[in-house]
Structure 1
Amino acid sequence: MKRILITLAVVLLAAAAGGAWYLHSKQPTRDGELALQHLGAPVQVRYDERGVPHIEAQNEADLYRALGFVQAQDRLFQMEMLRRLARGELAEVLGAKLLPTDRLFRTLGIRERADQQARELDPDSPHGKALAAYLDGINQYQDSRPAPLEFDLLGIEKRPFSAADTLSIAGYLAYSFAAALRSEPLLTRIRDELGNDYLQIFDTEWHPEGVLESPLGNNDLQLLDRIAALSDQALADSGLPQFEGSNAWAVSGARTASGKPLLAGDPHIRFSAPSVWYEAHLKYPGFELYGHHQPATPVAFLGHNRDFAWSLTMFQNDDMDLIAERSNPENPGQVWYQGSWVDLQQRQEVIQVKDGDPVTLRLRRSPHGPIINDALGDSAGTTPIAMWWTFLETDNPLLDAFYRLNRADTLAKGRAAAERIHAPGLNLVWANAGGDIAWWAAAKLPIRPAGVNPAFILDGSSGAADKRGFYPFSANPQEENPTRGYIVSANFQPLTASGIQIPGYYNPPERGQRLNQRLADQAVRWDLNNSQALQLETATAYGPRLLAPILDDLRAAATDEQQRALVEALAAWRGDHPLDSVQATLFNQLTYELSRVVMAPRLGAPAFEQLLATRMIDSALPRLTANAQSPWWTPADGQPRSRAEAVAEAWQASLQHLRATLGEDPGQWQWGRAHTLTHPHPLGVQWPLDALLNVGPLPAPGGHEMPNNLSHRIGAAPWPVGYGPSTRRLVDLADAGTSLGINPLGQSGVPFDRHYRDQAEPFIQGEYLPQHLSPEDVTAHTRSTLTLQPAR
C-alpha cells in the first residue's frame, strides 16, 4: 500500500508539473529578446504594471509589425473567433451546432464584401502598408510561438491572417449594432395584426408610403421571428464584443480647471473575456499615440496624445432596411424591380463542419441586397426578404478613416477622417490642446423616398425601398466649438442644422439629459476628479418618469403596511442604483412584470421576447404608463380591464417573485445581490471551463440608461449585466500624461496570465488607473522589457 501511495503521489506530481509546464508555455513573453523578420531596426516594448505595451520603433512599418506580434501574444484566440464569426466559419471548429450562425453570417454578405474590399485595397496607401506590416507581425507570432490553450482544446489549426479577415471583423462590428432584424419585423407585425393604435407607445408614425399591399403571411412572419432570434442568439453566445451605446463629452478650456479641453468617454459594449479593447502606447519619430485597438486591426478606434484626443458613441441611425420582394409566379428566380422582372443573383458557398460533411449554401441577392431567407434554408418563407445595408452599399474606407484619425490634430483633419466613416454610424467626439472641441455624426445617410418609414418592412416592388443616393457629409449632425462650451453624446436622437430626417433606434433621452444637466452648471470647473464622479453616477430620471403616472395605482394595489411602505419608498426614489438599493430591485422587477402582464398576451411569447431584446421597449414603457387609455391595457381576450387593475397584477407578481428569489424580508432585496457582472469567455459555457475562464459574478452598481450604464435586459430577477463601459477614459489636454482609464477585465486574453483579470475588481468598484504617456512615467512603471531584434 505504501508503494502504491508513493507511486500515485509521483504520478500526480508529474501530472501537475507537466500541466504547469504546459500552461507556462502558453504565456506571453514580455522580457528578453526575440527575433522578428522584416524589421529595419530593433523595437523596444516596455510593459507596465497593467501589462500595457509601450512600443518604441524607429519607423512606422516596424511599429505596426511589432504591434501585431505583441497583440497576437495577448489576443490571438479572440482574433481567431472574431474572424470566424464574421466570415461564417465557426462550425469548422465547433461543429454542426454552429451551422445556423454560419448560415446567417454568410447570408449577410459580410464575407463577400470584405473579400471585395481586400482586393480593392491599395497596398501602397499609408493604411494599406500599416495593415500589411501589422498582419505580418500577427502571422510571425503564429509561426514561431505555441498555439493558445483554446486552439488545443478545439483543435484549431493556425492559418495566416489576411486583410479580408480584418475587413470582415469591421463588418461584424457594423452588424452587431444594426437593429433592423430585431425591430422591423416586430413593428410590422404589431401594425398589421393589432393596428396603428398599438404603435403609438413606440412613437413610430405610420406612413402609408412603402406599406405592403398584402401583409406578410404567417410563415413569412415566422421566418423573420426565427432570423431575429438567430441573430440575437449568435451575438449573445459568441462571447465576443457587440456595440450597444456609449457616453462621451468634451469640455472646452473655458469650463475646465486647467484651462484646456477635457475629454471623457466610455463606449458601451457587450462584456466578454477577454475584454474588447487592447491598449497600446505607440511611438516612432514624428508619431505618438496611446490607443485602444480592436482585435486584428492596426489602427486605434479610441486614442489620445499630448495634442488631441477622441472617443466614440454609436450614432444609432437606421442603416439597414428589410424589403419584401414580389416574386414572379412564372419564375421564382425573378423579382419585380423598377417596372420589370429581374433575375436574382445566385452563388454558392461551402461551410466546413467539424466531424461532419461540408454544407453547401445557395445564396441569392436581389437589386436591394441579400435574400435573408437563405439563412434558414431553401424552404424558409414564401416571400423573399431582402436586406439593404449601408455597409454593403458604400466604399466604407474604415481603415483609412481611423488611420487619419490617429493623426488628426486639427479640426480639419478630424472632420476629414470622420467623413470617411460610412458604417456603422458613429458619433466622434474630439478635442485638441489648441482649445478646439468638436462632434461629428459620421455615417453615410441614405436618401429614402419622401414619406417612407424604414421602421417597417418595405415593399420592394413599389419603389419605396429604392435609395436616391446619400446625403453629403455636410448635412450630418455636427458641432465645432459651440458657445455653451461643451458637447455631449449619449445615443439620443440628434438634431441637424440641415433639417434632414434621420430615422434610427435611439435610446431614451434621460441619460443624455443627466449628463447635459451636470455639464451645463456654470459654477463647476471640470477636472479629472469630478469627471470620474459623473461617469460613475448611477441615477437618471427614467425610473421616476415611468412610475409617476401609476403611483396612485400602486398605492391602491398595496394590501398591507409593508407593501404601502415599499410603494412610498418608490414614490420618494430618485432613480438611483447603488448596491444597497431596495427600490432599484423593486423597480426593475416591476418594469418586467408590467411588460409581461400587458404586452405578452397580445404579442405571444416569441414576439414578446424579441421586444425585450430591442431598445423600443425602453422608450415605450414610460409612454405606456402615461396613457391610461392605451389599447395595450385591454387584455387579449377583450375583457374590460383598467390600467389600475393591470398595475395591481404586476405589483403582486413582483412581490411574489422577489420573495421567492431573494427572501421574504424586503430589506434583503439589495440591488447588489440581484444585479451582477460576469465576463463570459467563449468556451465558458461548459463546466469546468466556466470556473476557469469566466470572471465573476461581481455585484454591480448602476443599471439601464444611466451614466454608469452597467446594463441588463428587462426581465425577472436576478439580472446579469449584459453590456456597459468597455473602458472609462478621462484625458485633460493640459497634461495628457495624467490621463486615466480602466479595462473592465484585463489587458491579456491568455488564461492564467497575471493580466487576464487583474482589473476586474477595480473596474466594478469604480477605480481609475493611469495611462502612462510621458517617457519618465513609462520608465518608472516599466515591469519588463521585450526587445524585438531584426532576424539575421
Structure 2
Amino acid sequence: MATLFRWLLRLTVGAILLGLVAFVLTWWFFARSLPDYDARTRVAGITAPVEIVRDHANVPHVFGSTDRDAFFALGYAHAQDRLWQMTMLRRTVQGRLSELFGRRTAESDVLMRRLDLYRAATRSVEDQDGQTRAALDAYAAGVNAWIGEINAGARGRGAPEMWLFNQPVAPWQPADSLALLKLVAWQQSDHLQAEVLRARTSLLLDDDRLRDILPDVPGPGLTALPRYADLVPDIPRRHAAAAPRLDPLAASLPAALSGASNAWAAGPSRSATGATLLANDPHRLLTAPSIWYLARLELRSGGVIGATIPGIPLVLAGRSADLGWGITAAFADDLDLYAEEVNPRNAAEYRTPEGWDRFETRDSIVEIKDAPAVTLRLQRTANGPVLPPEQFALDTIRPRGHVMTLAWSGLSEDDTSMTAGLRLMQARSIEEGIRAGRLQVAPNQNLILADRNRIALKTVGAVPLRDAAHQSQGRLPTLGHVAENRWLGRLSYADLPQTTEPVGGLVGNTNNKTVDRPFPEHVSFHWGDTQRIARWRGLMQSREVHTRDSFIEAQLDTVSPTARALLPIVGADLWFTGEPAPEGTPARRRQRALELLGEWNGEMNEHLPEPLIYAAWMRALQERLIRDDLGPLAGAYTHVRPLFIDRVFRDIDGAAAWCDIRQSAAEESCADIARMALDDALIWISETHGGDLDALRWGDAHEARQDHPVLGQAPVLNWFVNIRQSTSGGDNTLMRGLTDGRAPNPFHNVHAAGYRGVYDFADPDSSVFIISTGQSGHPLSRHYDDLGELWRRGEYIPMSLDPSLARGAAVGITQLLPAAP
C-alpha cells in the first residue's frame, strides 16, 4: 500500500509539473505575439522617420513627415494591436470564414459570396482619387510591414488565435479596406429584414392590425400600402418564425441589432463658453475587442483624432483642430427586394419589362474545414444578386417559380465612400465637410458637424430614386419585371436632409425621423427611433446653455421615456386595486411590484429592481398580445414595440382588439391582459432571479456581454477573453444598452455605444473619448480591457492633439525608420 501511495504521489506531482510546464510554454508562445511598443525598426515603404507615440491608454499618436507615412504607420499600429480582428473581418466579407471554422460559418460565407461585396470593392479601387489611392496603398504597406516582422521574427504568428487556427495571412490590399467599409454598411442596414417582416406579417393580418404592430412613424407624408399578397401572387402561407442567430462572425445581424447611434451639437448661442460642442456615440454589436480603435494622425492638413475601425484608414468619428464630426445611422431606404420570375422553359432566364433575359452567372467554391467544399452558382439580374432562399426567411415570402434578388446602394462598383471619408478628415469647415459627403455611397449616415462657430446636420450616402408609381413604395418586396418597381437613379445630394445653423442653436439625431416629405422624396418610411429623441429634446431644452459636462450627462442618461409613457396607461386599472393579499401569494407579489413601479422615475439604473420588473412585464405583455394572432411569427418580434403597445392601450383605430384572446371563449380586456402579463413576468423573475423583488438588480440581467467572437465559447479560454459587466440603460435610453431579446437571457446587453466622444471647441484639448474594451485585441495585453471599466462607469480619457501630453505618459514610442538603401 505504501508503494502504491508513493507512485500515486509521484504521478500526481509529475502531472502537476507537466501541466505547469505546458501552461508556461503556452503562455510564452502566446506572449511572443505581444508587440514591443518601444521598438526601433527599419521598414520599406516610408520616406522619412515616423514615430508612433502610444499614450497612457495605448492610443497611438502618429507623427510622420508626409500623409503617406502617417497612413503607413496607422496600418502598422492597427496590425500590431488588431491583426486577428482585421483578418476575420476580411474573411467575413470575402466569404472565407468556413476555411477556419467549418460548417458553423457556412451560411455567412454563402451570403457574402452571393452579395459579392469583395468584387465590388476591388472594382471601386480605381474610382478613388489619387490622394485616397495613395493613402490606401500606404496603409496596406504598413499592415504588411508588421506581417513581415511576424513572419521574420517568430512573433507568435501575430496573435494567440493564429496558433489555434493556423492559416497563412495574405498581404493586405487596398481593396480589403474598401470591402470592410462595405461590410460595415451592410451590418448597419436593416431594411431587408424590415421588408421581409412586413411582408410576412401582412400575410396574416388585415390592414388595421398591420398598422398597429408595424405603425408608421408619426408625421405627415405617408400613404396607404397594398397588401403583400396583392402585389406578389402565389405566396405560400407558411409563417414559421426562423429566429435569427446572434453570431458575431455572421455577415448579417438580426434587424434590432443593426446600426444605431446618438449625436448632437450646440452652437455658440447655446454653449456656456460661446464655442460649439458636439457629442457622438455610435452603437454596434458588443465584442471583445471592440470594433472601435482610438487613434490620432498628424496629416499635412493638421492633426485628426477619434475612432477608427482596424482595417479602414479613416477616422470615422472624431475631430481636427477646426472641425468635429459625429455619425448616426440615417435609416435611409437604400434597399429593395424583388421577386424575379424564372422562365419555366429555361431556368437560365428571368422575366424583365422587355421579356426574358439571361441571368448573369458564375461559379464560386466555398472551402469548408472538415467537410466537402460547396460550389455555388452565383446569379444576378439587372436588379441585383439572387439571395439564398433559406436566409432572412425569404422562403416564406417567395412566390412559386421565382427567386429573390436584392438591390442595395452598397453593391455599387464605383463606390467613392473612402474618398469622402478622407476628405472629411481634411475638412476645416462645415462647408468643406458637407462637400466631402457628396462622394459618400454607403453606409447612409447623418453627419453632425461642428466647427468653431457653427453646427450642421447632413444626410450622406446614395439614396435610390423610385418611380412615383412603385407598387410598394419600397416597403415590401415587389415583382422585379414591373418597370415601375425599378430604380430610376439616385436622389440628388441637395435633396438629402440638411440643417445648417439651426435657429434654436441645437441639432441632433437619435436615428429618429429627419424629414417629412411624400414618397418618392421621403428618404425612408422605416426609422430607427421614436423614443430616445423625446428624452434628448427634454434634456437639451432643460438648460439655456450647455457645457461639455452637460453633454456627457445627456450621453450617460439612463431614464427611459418609454417606461414613463407606457406604465401609466398599461397599469391604469391596476394601481392601488385588488383585495388585500397575504405575504407570499401571487397577488401580494403583484401588489408589491406595482408599488415599486408606481414610485419609480423610469431610471434604468443597474442597482434598481424596477427596471427588471418593467422590462419583464412589457416583454410578457407583448407576447400575450401577439402570440394568438401571429402564431410562430411572434418569435420574430424579439423586442418590445412601444408604439404598438401605446396604440393598443389607447385603443387607437380599434387596436384594443389585440387584447382579446381569439382561442378563449371569454372576452379579455386590456386590463386583464396587463394583469396576466405582470403575473407571467413575476413568475419568470422568480424562476430566474429569485423571489425577493426588492433584492433584484437590473444590472444582473442587463449584463454587457463583450465576448470574443471565436474563443468566447471555448471552455476555460472564455474566462480570459470575454468581458462581462453589470450595466445601466436599456433599449430606449440615451445611454442605450440594447437587449438580446431572446430566451434564455433576453435582457443581456449586447448592442451599445462602443465609442463615446464629446468635443469642446472652446478648449479642444479638453475633449474626451472612450471605447468599451481596450485598444489591444491580445487577451494577454494589459490594454485588452483596461478602458472597459471606465466605459462601464461612464468615464472618459482625454482626447488631445497636444504632442507633449501624449509623450508625457507614453507607454511606448515606436520609431519606424526607412529601410537602408
Calculate the TM-score normalised by the size of structure 1.
Answer: 0.93
CA distance in 2, matches of 1:712, 1:139: 38
User: What's the secondary structure of 1:722's corresponding residue?
Assistant: strand
1:98 matched to 2:105: yes
* Alpha-carbon contact 2:232-2:479 (below 8 Å) kept: no
Q: Distance in 1 between matches of 2:384 and 2:143?
A: 34
Distance of 1:470 and 1:572 partners within structure 2: 52
- Contact 1:344 1:364 survives alignment (8 Å): yes
Q: What whole-Å deviation, never above 9, does each CA across 1:748-777 have from its counterpart, x for those lacking one? A: 111110100001111111111112321231
Change (3 A) 1:54 1:705: same
Check conservation: 1:730, 1:739, Cα contact below 8 A. Answer: yes
Answer with 18-27 or 295-304: which moved more: 18-27
The 3-state SS of whatever aligns with 2:84 is helix
Q: Which residue of 2 aligns with 1:417?
A: 436
Cα deviation for residue 508 of structure 1 reads: 3.4
Cα distance, 1:50 vs structure 2: 0.7
Partner residue of 1:596 out of 614, 623, 635: 623
Residue 442 of structure 1 deviates from its aligned partner by 1.0
1:177 aligns with 2:171: no
Equivalent residue of 2:388, what SS? helix
Unpaired segments ≥5 residues, structure 1? none
Residue 707 of structure 1: CA displacement? 1.0
In the alignment, residue 706 of structure 1 is paired with which amino acid?
T
2:298 aligned partner, one-letter code: K
CA distances 1:394-430 after superposition (whole Å, capped 9, x unpaired):
7331110000000111122111111222222101001
Return closer, same or farther for 1:592/1:496 CA change in 2, 3 Å cut-off. closer
- Look up the match of 1:117: 124
Q: How many residues align?
A: 779
8 Å CA contact 1:476–1:496 kept in 2: the answer is no
- Check conservation: 2:203, 2:228, Cα contact below 8 A: no
How far the C-alpha of 1:23 sits from its partner, in A, is: 2.4
2:547 counterpart of 1:531: no
Q: Relative to 1, partners in 2 of residues 1:594 and 1:10: Cα closer, same or farther, differing over 3 Å?
A: closer
CA contact (8 A) 2:120 2:412 kept: no
In the alignment, the residues of structure 1 paired with residue 40 and residue 327 of structure 2 have an alpha-carbon distance, to the nearest angstrom, of 37
- Rounded Cα–Cα distance in structure 1 between residues aligned with 2:268 and 2:606: 35
Q: Which amino acid aligns with 1:520?
A: Q
Alignment of 1:577-588 (within 5 A): 577-588=604-615
Secondary structure of the residue aligned to 1:51 is: coil
Residue 622 (str. 1) matches residue 646 (str. 2): yes
| Greater alpha carbon shift after TM alignment, 671-680 vs 770-779 | 770-779
The equivalent residue for 1:365 is: 380
- Local SS of the residue matching 2:465: coil
Q: Does 1:71 align with 2:78?
A: yes
Which runs of structure 2 are paired with 1:663-678 in the superposition (5 Å)?
A: 663-678=690-705
Q: Is 2:535 the partner of 1:520?
A: no
2:526 partner letter: Y
Aligned match of 1:131: 136
Once residues 442 and 647 of structure 2 are traced to their aligned partners in structure 1, the CA distance between those partners, rounded to angstroms, is: 31
In structure 2, distance between residues paired with 1:418 and 1:583: 44
Cα deviation digits, residues 17-68 of structure 1 (max 9, x gap): 4233212211022003112112211111111111111111111111111111
Aligned to 2:740: 713
From 34, 37, 47, give the equivalent of 1:27: 34
* Deviation (angstroms), 1:655: 1.0
Partner of 1:448: 466
Change (3 A) 1:533 1:4: same
Q: For 1:282, what is the secondary structure of its paired residue?
A: strand
Residues 271-282 of structure 1 aligned to structure 2 (within 5 Å): 271-282=286-297
Shift of 1:564: 2.4
Counterpart amino acid of 1:503?
S
Partner SS state of residue 417, structure 1: helix
Shift of 1:360: 0.7
Unaligned runs of 5+ in 2: 1-5, 217-222, 582-586
1:323 alignment partner, one of 338, 344, 347: 338
Q: Determine the structure 2 residue equivalent to 1:270.
A: 285
Q: Does 1:751 align with 2:779?
A: yes
Report the Cα offset of residue 718 of structure 1. Answer: 5.8
1:331 Cα offset (Å): 2.4
SS of the equivalent of 1:429 reads strand
Assess if the C-alpha contact under 8 Å between 2:560 and 2:730 holds in 1: no
Distance 2:382 2:644 in 1: 35
Measure the CA separation in 1 of the matches of 2:73 and 2:390.
39
CA distance in 1, matches of 2:297, 2:357: 52
Q: Given the superposition, is the C-alpha separation of residues 566 and 342 from structure 1 closer, same or farther in structure 2, using an over 3 Å criterion?
A: same
8 A Cα contact 1:48 1:778, kept in partner: yes
Give, as a single letter, the amino acid of the residue that structure 1 aligns with 2:29.
Answer: Y
1:178-327 alignment, distance < 5 Å: 178-201=189-212, 202-204=214-216, 206-208=224-226, 212-218=230-236, 229=244, 235=250, 243-327=258-342
366-375 or 464-473, which deviates more: 366-375
Q: 2:179 aligns with which of 153, 168, 182?
A: 168
Quickly say closer, same or farther: Cα 1:627–1:507, change in 2 above 3 A: farther
Alignment of 1:142-157 (within 5 A): 142-145=147-150, 146=155, 147=157, 148-157=159-168
* Whole-angstrom distance in 2 between the partners of 1:329 and 1:557: 65
- Residue by residue over 1:553-605, the C-alpha shift from the partner in whole angstroms, topping out at 9 and shown as x without a partner, is 43467864542242243244332101222221111001110121121232233
Cross-structure match for 1:546: 566
Partner amino acid for 2:466? R
Give the CA RMSD over aligned residues. Answer: 2.7
Cα deviation code 1:432-464 (max 9, x no counterpart): 12x021110112222222263322221223334
Residue 467 of structure 1 pairs with residue 487 of structure 2: yes
* Contact 1:491–1:506 (8 Å) recurs in 2: yes
Distance in 2, Cα, partners of 1:175 & 1:619? 27
Distance in 1 of aligned mates of 2:599 and 2:36 = 55
Aligned to 2:584: none
Cα displacement string for residues 313-359 of structure 1 (whole angstroms, at most 9, x for unaligned residues)? 10012211111122323223322221412222211111112233321
Q: Which of 503, 508, 516 does residue 488 from structure 1 map onto?
A: 508
1:177 touches 1:243 (CA, 8 Å); kept in 2? yes
Name 2:753's counterpart in structure 1. 725
Verify the 8 A CA contact 2:323 2:430 in the aligned structure 1.
Answer: no
Question: How many Å separate the matches in 1 of 2:69 and 2:257?
Answer: 31
TM-score by length of 2: 0.89
Shift of the 413–135 alpha-carbon distance from structure 1 to 2, 3 Å rule, reads same
For residues 75-101 of structure 1, the C-alpha deviation after alignment (integer angstroms, 9 at most, x for no partner) is: 011101111111211001111232111
Indicate the SS of the match to 2:264.
Answer: strand
Q: Distance in 2 between matches of 1:75 and 1:286?
A: 27
- The CA distance in 2 between the partners of 1:152 and 1:232, in whole Å, is 22
Match of 2:530 among 505, 509, 516: 509
Q: Which amino acid aligns with 1:675?
A: H
User: In terms of mean alpha carbon deviation, does 501-510 or 313-322 score higher?
Assistant: 501-510
Q: Are residues 738 and 505 of structure 1, via their aligned partners in 2, closer, same or farther at CA, if it must alter by over 3 Å?
A: same
Kindly indicate whether residue 710 of structure 2 is the aligned counterpart of residue 692 of structure 1: no
Report the Cα distance in structure 2 between the residues aligned to 1:40 and 1:243, rounded to whole angstroms.
41
Q: 1:263 to 1:337 in 2, by over 3 A?
A: same
Deviations 1:495-524 (A, max 9, x none): 26899312243133321121122222453x
Q: 8 Å contact 1:192–1:215 — kept in the other structure?
A: no
Letter of the structure 1 residue corresponding to residue 621 of structure 2: L
Alignment of 1:371-382 (within 5 A): 371-373=386-388, 382=400
Alpha-carbon contact 1:48-1:781 (below 8 Å) kept? yes
Q: In the alignment, which residue of structure 1 is the partner of 2:3?
A: none
Aligned-partner residue type, residue 282 of structure 2: P
Of the structure 1 ranges 679-688 and 558-567, higher mean CA displacement relative to structure 2 is found in 558-567
Q: 1:594 to 1:4 in 2, by over 3 A?
A: closer
**Alignment pair present for 1:405 and 2:424:** yes
